[in-house]
Each structure stands twice: as C-alpha cells, then as structure tokens.
Chain A
C-alpha cells in the first residue's frame, strides 16, 4: 500500500523537474483567463480590492443634517463615495456616462433646512436606471434618505407634542406623508460603470473555471508523459520484478496526477476568488467538491492517455485532442447557455461541461450546495469509466 505513495511521490518529483508542468497548470490558465476576460468585456480602471460600487457625491448644502446623510452613506457596504470638491454636477454626469462611476448623488442647497421644515427637497441621483447595480444603489440611497427624513419628522413631532399635546392622527399623517414623494429623484443616464462591473464579473465567472478545467487537461501533457516514460524506459517492467503489484503502479500514477491537478484547482480557485473576484468561496464546500471530482476525472483520463500512448509524442497528441474537444464542446470557451438545446445536450458528453456547471452554479448562478451534486456525480462517473478503461488497456497490452 505504502508503495502507492512512494510511486506518487516519485512521479511528482519527476513532474516538478519539468518546467512545462507549471507552465500548463498555472501560467497558461491565468494568462488565458485574463485574455478571455478582456475579449468578453475588458477591465475597469480600478483594481483596488474595494469591491463596492463607486458613487460620486457632491454636496451643495452645508447644513448639519446633510453631514448626517453623508456619514450614513459613507458607512455603506455596497457603495463607496467618491468625493472631489472640484467637480461640478456636470462633471459627475460625464463620469457616470463614461463609466468611471456607477452613479452620482447631488445634495441640493437648502436640503438640510427643508428636511427640518418637513418640506421635500429631493436628492438628485445620476444613474442608469434598470440595471442590477442601480437597484442596489437606489435601495441604499433611499434607506439613508428615509432614515434622515423619518428622524427629522419624529423629532419635530416630539417637539410639538411637548408644546401643545399633538393628536396622534396628526403625528401619524405627518410621518406617512414623508413617503408620498420619494426623497430622491433619478436623473437617468447610460452608465458604463454599471454595465462593466456586471459584465466583467460574469465573464470572469465563466472564463476562470473554463480555463482552469481546460488547462488541467493540458497538464496531462507532462503527467501522461511520465507514465509513457515509465513504460518505454522499462522501469515498469522492473517495478514488476519487485514485490510491487500492477495495481500499485496504476494507483500511484493516478494519485500523483490527482494531487497535481487538485492542487492546481485549489491555487486557481484562491486566485480566482481574491484576484479575479470570482466568488468561488461563497460555498467553499461545494466548490471544493466540484474541484475534487473534476480532478478525479481528469487524472483518470491522464492515466488512460499514459497507457494508450506508445511514445511521448503520442502522449502530447492524445492530451491535446481531449483538451480541445472537451473544452470546446463542454463550454469552456463559449458558455453552453448561449447555444441551442441540442448542442447543450451534446456538450454534456464532455466532462468539462459538468465541471463548468458545477463551478458556475456556485460562482455565477448563486445556487445552493445541492446544485453541485449532479455535476460532481457525473464527473465521478467519468472518473470511474476512464479508470476502468485504463486498467483494462494496461492488462490487455501487457499480457502476452
């Protein structure tokens, strides 16, 4: 049993001596994720780690109520206030149109005083209504403005109550009337910032798992070569003259490729999460289950390639073909949902399609843990299929 680990360790040592391994498993997928990411939508200028939506803020009022509003907005989890006293409302409008800001809030002069007098002075908001980001921003600004308004009215009522004992109806009506007119007004514009953030997010949530899966198969270029070398250099024969059994050798190779690819997945998932902002770790258990079964499946495929290939050149060809076929068919390049029903069905012949489903259910579609169970089971099924095929081919080729 322990020989399986010895063999796996030996394989990993051999693989680590080959620069190509790192090239295929890490450098290429990262490179291609960026490349495809650009092709799908490009990147915003901001690359700081603050993922809140940038919202311009211009105050033409210096009342203390306005300062309260500003502080409420500044504490938000979803928007980040961009303040520059030198910008006019006209500049802000342009920034939103250019996509440098997701929206802009302009507090008009007299806002604070009006709030205290229970008059309605609306906040002006420049944004592209109807987008997802807008919904988020709108809710946030509305909440802040309403809290200020509500607080002011309550305070006024309390004041009046002390003076003359105001009837309940009056207080109630006053409070309710605050909602008659929403305290903000939207100035519509077409914002690129909103489009970009959402598109970029979607594009990477697709290309990141796509490239990860594709280049995991590319990693078989070197991994399968180790097995081919094992056979052609007669070391396999020699292993069989020791007490090592054939199944130990097979499992050892399998374990080595599995560890290699699972590590690759882990590194790329962490990279995707923290650098590309693809939310793999929303459900870490689910993502890792998909990674685990995808690694099982691809290592079994690697084993099969290593056993079918007669030469190292063949090992390369045999790895490249499934890489392109499985990745292309499985929607690693163009999402399968952009294609027709028939193609989607055919695409799911490729294990990559299941891997994509699994990862995207978590990082793009926001589904729950149970959504990765079927994709993971499908991947595990492919793993068993490839493994059995490999075992069968090996015994067929060795028995004379």
Chain B
C-alpha cells in the first residue's frame, strides 16, 4: 500500500459517438502530491476524471486508484476517493450544514463523528458563521467552497478537484488554493484540473498538459519549462525609431533573437538580469527612451504555445 502510486492511468480511451474525447492517456500520480491536469476547454479533463471516479466506463484501458482497479473494483476506488465535480453538486434549497451532514452520511459517517467532522469542514472552508443559510443564498465562491467541503468529509486518501476555481472572486479563489495546499500537507493526494496555468504552476508537484484528448507533456514545472528552452523573453515599448536600436541589441552578447510586432519589441535572452542594463545602455546611446519593460520568465503558457501553436485560453 505504501509504495503503490495513488493513481496509475493506463491507456484510457473514451469516445462519445465520433468524438474521441480521451485518446490513450497515461500518467502516474505519487501519493501525497498535487498533480495538475492543465488543458483548454474540451481537452478531455472532465472525461478523464469521470472515468477515474467510475462514473464513466472507459472504452479501453484501465486505471488504479490506491491499487483498486476502476474496472474491476469500483467500490474499492470509491472508498478512498473524494470528488469535487466541476459543476456544483449541492442541494441549493438546503443549508450548508444540512448539505454537509447529508453527504457525510452518504460517505458512511454517523452520529457524533459526523457532527464533529461537519464542524471541522465548515471551519476549513471558512463558512462556519453562515453554515445555517441556504446554499442558494450564497455567492458563487461560497458555493464552490461548500462543493469542495463535501469531498473532504470522510478524509479521503485521494481527492479529485475539477476546475474548482472557475468563475469566482479572488478571495474565494485564494481560500481554495490555500486549502488545496493544506490538504497536501495533511497527506492527501490531489488530482487537480484547471485551464489556469498560474494555478498549475503555483500548486503542483507534477503537471500534465492535455489537449484534444491526449497528454502532450508531463513532468515537474522545471522539466516542462526546459522543453521551451531556458530563454526569457523581454517585451519592451520604445519612444522613437526602433530599427537602429534593434540592430544594436542583436549584437549584444547573450541575446539570441530580437523581433518586433505592433510596436512591441521582443528580445530573447539567457539571463535577463545580466542583459537588461546593456539594453538600456544601447538605447540611451541612440537617444531612444524605453517606456515599458515586461520580463517573461519561461512558463507553461509558453510551453503550450510552443507545443500546439495556440494560446492556452483561446
């Protein structure tokens, strides 16, 4: 038990009619880590999660959750699992406390143990003060927090969170991201899907990038970023003729490429700290003012662009 991966996915396939939603996905999530599935709308994230929670039967392939096969042992899978669905799955005409109590019972908790756990979860999701209000009176962010709270009741070993931060206010978002890290610190394994690369970047130990039903890259943040190369991009806007200064910058040691588009000049460099002063110096010599500078460290967004030729959010 100690050494099995929390989740091992082996060649999952799922089609809806002619639409191949998931086409042969393989990945492995270690116990106690946060693993993000990053991908644009329609990439197949929810379909994958649904198969991993035994709601959808895969056409092909299998997966093991804490050693239980989703094909042959769905009961075992469900017993170690908490699922936070992408769409709110709550009874809006009941209060937060009534919702948590009910779901607690569905997870097999009863009596004083249930009551205690409901109070603990209300604390975790920061809704203790408003626990006795009906969910339909809550803001979107508060509803999402209850939605997450439900999955925590039975202290599952593995928890799936499907885009838990979609469409909510920054405060609730912060609360949720913090609670994800808190879960990891308590030893839970989290499979987290998102199309916000900042979230994947901030939270995850490992990230898998998904597009059109396939994993196109998988690894730690650093490993993935290396795939785009170690280059940092510096975007600058200039006051004056850019032709001359671009020529001068190309000759600086450590600059690998200079290009311009719509008045924005992009410079690819190995180390922005070292090169930036030289860029300013060269511009000053030509009496050109730099009006804005934007340093873009290599990131997953760049990787996605690099791999697919498309931006992540289009």
- Which residues of A come within 8 Å of B, CB atoms? 2-3, 6, 10, 13-14, 17-18, 229, 233-235, 237-244, 400
Contacts and interface: CB of A to CB of B under 8 A. Distances in A.
- Residues of B contacting A: mostly: loop
Contacts of B83: 238, 241
Contact of B91 (A2, A18, A235): A235
Contact of A13 (B98, B105, B108): B98
Interface string B16-47: 10000000000000000000000000000000
5 contacts: A10-B94, A14-B91, A237-B89, A241-B53, A400-B56
Nearest to B77: A241
A18 B93 contact: yes
Nearest to A400: B56
Contacts of A229: 91
A384 B92 CA distance: 32
B121 to A, nearest CB: 15
A238 B93 contact: no
Contacts of A2: 105
A260 to B, nearest CB: 16
B98 A241 contact: no
Contacts of B150: 238
Contacts of B103: 238, 242
Contacts of A235: 89-91
B108 A243 contact: yes
A244 B93 contact: no
B276 interface: no
A127 B16 CA distance: 81
A234 B102 CA distance: 15
Contact of A234 (B54, B78, B87, B108): B87
Contact of A233 (B53, B54, B91, B98): B91
B299 to A, nearest CB: 33
Nearest to B57: A400
Contact of B94 (A3, A14, A400): A14
B93 A233 contact: no
Contact of B75 (A6, A14, A243): A243
B55 interface: yes
Contacts of B2: none
Given A234-B89, A238-B150, A6 B106 contact: yes
Contact of A10 (B89, B91, B108): B91
B85 A243 contact: no
B192 interface: no
B55 A239 contact: no
B88 interface: yes
Contacts of B134: 17
A247 to B, nearest CB: 14
Given A234-B85, A238-B85, A239-B106, A17 B93 contact: yes
Contacts of A17: 93-94, 134
A209 B79 CA distance: 48
Nearest to B153: A242
A241 B92 contact: no
A17 B134 CA distance: 10
Name the 6 nearest CB pairs between A and B, nearest first.
A238-B89, A234-B89, A242-B106, A241-B83, A6-B105, A235-B89
Given A13-B98, A233-B92, A241 B105 contact: no
Nearest to B110: A2
Given A10-B94, A18-B93, A237-B85, A242 B107 contact: yes
B102 A6 contact: yes
B188 interface: no
B88 A3 contact: no
A203 B98 CA distance: 45
A13 B87 CA distance: 23
A233 B87 CA distance: 8
A19 to B, nearest CB: 12
B98 to A, nearest CB: 7
B98 A243 contact: no
A316 to B, nearest CB: 17
Contacts of A237: 55, 85, 89
